[in-house]
Homo-oligomer: A and B are copies of this chain.
Amino acid sequence: MQKQETLTKNQKIILDLIEKSDQPLKAYSILFDVKKKGINAPLQVYRALKKLVKIGKIHKIESRNAFIACKNSKCQIAKATVFSICESCEDVTEIHDHKLSEHLRDFKDNKGMKYSKYNLEFFGICKKCV
């Protein structure tokens, strides 16, 4: 399992930025923010994001095309993610629910397909926005 120490310069810069935000960041907003650090092209951002997703440091919120840091130290691989998304303020929170995770991990469809990964996004209106 790859540790943060082994991340490259670009990967560190981008992970730092995402970790400082408690909300998902979009690739081109990241690009804008890291230009002062010498990262000039979209591809440099996307390459770092791809790696960070792969090692589980960040997750992609598929319905929003945005990236958020994973705060769960156990979650070292991006294979099982659950998010809560407010459709009004767009606030995103990662959900860790043992029972739900168990249920999803053990889920088998009727074709017997084995799943190595899942992504679940819940949508609603958060307390602040009600």
Beta-carbon contacts under 8 Å, A93-116 to B: 93, 95, 97, 100, 103-104, 107, 109-116
How many positions in chain A have a CB within 8 Å of any CB in the partner chain? 31
Contact B107 A100 (CB under 8 A): yes
Contact A126 B97 (CB under 8 A): no
Partner of A123, one of B110, B118, B121, B123: B118
Task: Give A114 to B122 CA distance when docked, in angstroms.
Answer: 9
A7, CB-defined interface residue at 8 Å: no
Partner of A84, one of B86, B95, B104, B115: B115
Residues of B within 8 A of A116 (CB): 87, 123-125
Residues of B within 8 A of A62 (CB): 62-63, 121
**Which residues of A does B touch, CB under 8 Å?**
62-63, 84, 86-87, 93, 95, 97, 100, 103-104, 107, 109-127
